Every structure is written in C-alpha cells, then in structure tokens.
C-alpha cells in the first residue's frame, strides 16, 4: 500500500485534539474528540502504524508473559487464549472488530480454523493487512473490509456472525454502549463476544490530578478519545443485553514478568536474547535513533508529515502505560466473555 493511502493532514492535525497538559484538557476537548473519533483514530494510525510494526510486529496489543517466554510467542498465546475462551472452531464466521494489520486475525484463523472477517476504518492498515494475509496464504480464511464499528448492523445486517472479538480496539469508540450494542446486533442468537478491553481500574479517581495525568497520557499517546473504567465497560455490556459468562483482569494475575516490561526500555529484563532488541527500541537510545530516523524520513517524504509528532506521542503513551501498570490504575487486558441470549 503506497504512502498516499495515508492523509498527511490527519497525521499533522492529530495532536491538536488534545491539550498537552492534563489539567488543561477539559470537557470541551473531550466532546470534540468523541464527536470526531474517526478523525482522531485515523490520524493516529496513519502516523503510528509503521512505528507499531517496527516495535510490536503485526499484533498491536499487550499480553501476559511467563519467565523465559519470547515476545512473539507470548503475543500469540494471548490470542490463542481468547479464541479458546470463546470456543472458536471450524465453520464459524467470526468478526474481528478493529483488526489492525491483521496479525491476530491470521493467528486465530490458524489456531481455530474459523473464518475471520477483519473490520477496520483505516485504508492504510487494510491494505497492509490484505497484503500480509495473501503472503501468508490465508486469503481463503481471513478477509478485511472497511467500515465504522459504530455502524456494524448497517454494514453487515443483524444476526450475521457466530462470534465477535475485539482486542484492545473498542476503547477507541466514543462510548462503550454504542459499540457493544452494535456487536450485540450483528451476533446471531447464542453468539459469543470476547474482548480484551483497555480500562482504568476501579481504583482510578478522575478527580486525582496524578490519576488524570496517567489517563490523559494514555489518551493522547494512543488515539483514545476518552478512557473509561472497568465498571463502565461491565455496565455497558449488561445494558445492551449481554450475559457475562467470564470476567477477569488478566493484568491482576500477579505475574512475575509484568505485561508492560517491553515498554520499560531495560534490555536486562528481556526474556530471550532476541527480545533484547525489542526492549532496546524503547530505551532512551532506541527512542533517540528511531525518532531521528523518522525525522529524516519525513523530510524526504518517505512518511507523512506529522509522523515524528505522533512518534513523540507514543513516547508519552509508553510512560503513561508503564505508570498505569505499576500503580494498577490501568489494564490493557480486562477480559470479558459475553453471550447474546439464544432467544
């Protein structure tokens, strides 16, 4: 997919949706982001996608780690766990809401032999997902379509999928009730919805300046119009009609190796030799080298104008995510398995 699939204007304008200081970011700014969520998200991913691929391969999500477990192995296991909890199997038609460049869709298709339809509103990512899937020889099992996840029933019709999953994607929606309600509609009666949700934990206090600063850093650094807590997600699932079968914050398992360790930039925490490079990329030296290379690429037109600025936002995000993880004020892996009643 050529670079012109991305909008330089969207990338350049991305940071204008936020006040950089959390104390100055008010309800008016949030309302503007929520109203223009598609511009917010597309501006972010037009600038961030290749940076994600550089730092995180094809699966743009976090995961739990066991001691000695490789980074890519852990990402795949996280995807397998979701598919297993949902009981995905051959013959099922499954929707991936917010599929990125298709890494999880391809992995889950291999693992479950289900047929996956990936939904994305970003042309650049759809192009990359389609090409990567073709190279992997999975085009018969995995496909991608452009669409707005707040209008799923308009695009697919009601009762269209046996299962739906979302991996760290529905946090980009302007509200949980809207996105979960659309997922409920497109599921067949008895269908299952599995989600890894980004949430502030119930210990988070929006009136606490330090807590607000962490949430704001996650928002501005990850293209999220508004962070919400676990209670908001749980209540939204119930309010649209889902029966919750399983709920767990996987980040609260007490793992020896924390989910955020690749963001800390400490090569000595790497679980394998190869993952030392993964950790180096988020070190001060790694960030310096990456950002200077992006600056040069931007100057000669290899990446859209504004990509360097989005890269700076990712640095803010990493710091906020680590702070949120250490204080247990944030989780990227609140797991819900919910079912649409059969009748």
The predicted-structure confidence for 13-57, as pLDDT tens digits, reads as follows 666 665 666 667 777 766 767 666 677 666 676 767 777 788 788
**Across the chain, what does the average pLDDT equal?**
90
pLDDT in tens, 54-90: 878 899 899 999 999 999 999 999 999 999 999 999 9
Contact 128, 1 (CB under 8 A): yes
Please name which of 97, 319, 317 lies closest in space to residue 227, comparing C-alpha atoms: 317
Among 50, 79, 107, 168, the one annotated catalytic: 168
Q: In the numeric block, which tokens belong to residue 283? A: 């070190």
Q: What is the mean pLDDT of residues 221-242?
A: 94
* 53 catalytic per annotation: no
pLDDT at 55: 79
% of the chain surpassing 70 pLDDT: 88
Q: CA angle 317-66-215, nearest 5°?
A: 20
Q: Give dist(CA 11, CA 313) in Å, integer.
A: 12
Tracing tokens 């700076």 back to the chain, one arrives at 312
Residue 79 contacts residue 72 (beta carbons within 8 Å): no
Record the pTM.
0.89
pLDDT band at 4 (very low <50, low <70, confident <90, very high): very low
Q: How sure is the predictor about 3, in pLDDT bands with cuts at 50, 70 and 90?
A: very low
pLDDT for 29 equals 65
pLDDT of residue 1: 38
Q: What are phi and psi of 140, to 5 degrees?
A: -80, -15
Contacts of 298 (CB under 8 A, 6+ apart): 304, 305, 306, 307, 308
What distances in angstroms separate CA 108 from CA 37, 88, 89, 148, 317, one per listed residue? Answer: 28, 9, 10, 22, 27
């Amino acid at each position: 997919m050529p670079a012109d699939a991305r909008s330089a204007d969207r990338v350049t304008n991305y940071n204008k949706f936020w006040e950089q200081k959390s104390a100055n970011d008010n309800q008016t700014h949030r309302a503007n982001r929520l109203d223009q969520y598609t511009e917010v998200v597309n501006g972010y991913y037009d600038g961030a996608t290749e940076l994600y691929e550089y730092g995180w391969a094809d699966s743009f999500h976090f995961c739990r780690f066991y001691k000695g477990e490789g980074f890519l192995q852990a990402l795949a296991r996280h995807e397998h766990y979701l598919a297993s909890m949902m009981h995905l199997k051959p013959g099922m038609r499954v929707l991936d809401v917010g599929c990125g460049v298709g890494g999880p869709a391809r992995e889950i298709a291999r693992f479950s032999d289900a047929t996956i339809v990936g939904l994305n509103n970003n042309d650049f990512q759809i192009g990359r997902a389609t090409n990567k899937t073709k190279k992997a020889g999975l085009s018969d099992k995995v496909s991608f379509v452009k669409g707005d996840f707040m209008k799923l029933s308009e695009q697919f019709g009601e009762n269209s999928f046996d299962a739906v999953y979302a991996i760290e994607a529905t946090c980009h929606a302007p509200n949980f009730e809207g996105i979960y309600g659309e997922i409920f509609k497109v599921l067949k009666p008895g269908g299952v919805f599995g989600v890894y949700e980004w949430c502030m934990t119930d210990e988070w206090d929006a009136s606490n300046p330090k807590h607000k600063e962490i949430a704001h850093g996650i928002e501005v650094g990850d293209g999220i119009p508004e962070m919400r807590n676990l209670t908001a997600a749980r209540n939204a699932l119930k309010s649209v009609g889902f029966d919750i079968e399983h709920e767990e914050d996987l980040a609260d398992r007490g793992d020896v190796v924390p989910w955020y360790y690749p963001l800390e930039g400490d090569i000595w925490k790497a679980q394998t030799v190869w993952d030392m490079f993964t950790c180096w990329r988020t070190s001060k030296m790694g960030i310096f080298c990456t950002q200077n290379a992006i600056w040069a690429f931007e100057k000669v037109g290899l990446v859209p104008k504004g990509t360097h600025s989005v890269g700076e936002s990712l640095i803010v995000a990493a710091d906020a995510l680590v702070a949120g993880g250490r204080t247990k004020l944030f989780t990227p892996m609140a797991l819900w398995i919910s079912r649409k009643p059969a009748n």
